[in-house]
Amino acid sequence: MTASTARAQLRKLRAALADVKAPGCSFGRREQAQLDLHAVLEWLWDTTAGPVLDRVADSRLWWCPVGVMAGLPLHAAGRHRDRAGLTVFDRIVASYTPSLTALADTVHTPPPQHPRPTALVVGVGEREGVPTLPSARDEAEAVAALLPGSTVVMDSAASADAIKDGLHDHAIAHFACHGRAVSSAGHPDLGGLMLDNGMFVPSFVRDLRTTQAQLAFLSACDTASPDPALLDEPLNLAGELSRGGRRGVGAAGDSDHAGSAGLPDRPAFRADPGCGRSSGPARGMSCPAAARRGGDRSGHGRRFADHGGGQPGTPGQ
């Protein structure tokens, strides 16, 4: 493992993801991109994830990558084509933490007690300059239906102030909209959630610290992507929500303009509406992580990753 090798693998990953999303990409190039993606995940397993897991007896692990490794999908590393159990998905419940301090703070803070948690549900299906998200409203309404008493704000009603108020009032937050990566090449506050008129940026969360929050699910691209110029600094919205007290944060680490992702896992929400508690379909991890364990193991696990602290526990069977 060298820095130059890791950078080369990151370039290969980004090129493969760009190819499979390009509308005019040929079948042959898409097939090669899939092979390249597998190659990156297998390299990650052989050089990093596999050796680490050989030394870790626990079934719960938090990644805290820095530098170029912050851009690589450690949670999806593995030899998926071998179907021999040599993947992170098969071995552990994996999450990310923006810092060791944030992880320690979350793990040692007693979980909030909500008899029936409610959610702030935000959906923005149309915004000038980006593709329409036709499923944003359906997704928002489906989440709200599972959590009675939730607040739903859609499109023009989804202002930064309305989101701040909702984050303060509800234990759970779900966002279905476009996202934009943080980039210090312009200004850090240009990244975040793309609202109908404006942005909801990471700095808006810094004054919303709470011990009553449980889960945030960001069904929005690039909300967990690192700043390419500051890979050691977790400046994205997922990191800020985690540091702000959310015990579980599910977010996307790449761009996907095909539309909102849809409700991650309805049985998970029904079985454990708190999501951050050590119960439900997979103890100790948030709903998006539980959904990912039951989903596609081919390497597209980068779409969502759990960025929360949660509570230590044993994976569900």
DSSP secondary structure code for residue 48 in this structure? I
Q: Would you state the pLDDT for residue 269?
A: 39
Q: Would you state the pLDDT for residue 44?
A: 97
242 inside domain: yes
Per-residue pLDDT reduced to its tens digit, 123-141: 999 888 888 899 999 999 9
209 inside domain: yes
Put simply, whether the predicted model's pTM sits higher than 0.85 gets the answer: no
Per-residue pLDDT reduced to its tens digit, 174-221: 999 998 877 766 555 668 889 988 898 888 887 777 667 788 898 888
Per-residue pLDDT reduced to its tens digit, 243-255: 777 778 887 766 5
Q: Would you state the pLDDT for residue 311?
A: 44
302 inside domain: yes
> What is the C-alpha separation between 181 and 168, in angstroms, rounded?
24
Distance of CA 18 to the CA centre of its chain: 19
The residue ranges of DSSP E strands in 39-197, in sequence order, are 60-63, 93-96, 119-123, 151-154, 172-176, 178-180, 192-195
10 inside domain: no
- The CATH number of residue 233's host domain is 3.40.50
12 inside domain: no
Which H or E run contains 217?
Answer: strand 215-219
Q: Would you state the pLDDT for residue 164?
A: 92
> What is the C-alpha separation between 17 and 314, in angstroms, rounded?
33
Q: Would you state the pLDDT for residue 114?
A: 66
Q: Would you state the pLDDT for residue 239?
A: 81
In angstroms, the first-to-last Cα distance of the chain is: 34
Positions of the chain with pLDDT under 50? 256-304, 311-317
What the block records as the tokens of 170 is: 């509800």
Q: What is the torsional sign of CA 112, 100, 190, 125? A: negative
Residue type, 257: H
The residue with tokens 């889960």 is 215
| Domain that residue 196 falls in | 107-306
78 inside domain: no
293 inside domain: yes
**SS3 for 180?**
strand
Q: Would you state the pLDDT for residue 248?
A: 80
> What is the C-alpha separation between 313 and 279, in angstroms, rounded?
9
The residue with tokens 């938090």 is 62
What the block records as the tokens of 296 is: 């596609």
The answer to whether 153 and 169 are in contact (CB under 8 A) is: no
Q: What are φ and ψ of residue 128, in 5° steps? A: -60, 135
Residue 209: C-alpha distances to residues 18, 80, 203, 300 (Å): 36, 39, 12, 32
DSSP secondary structure code for residue 268 in this structure? H
Based on the structure, what is the number of domains in the chain?
1
Q: Would you state the pLDDT for residue 138?
A: 93
180 inside domain: yes
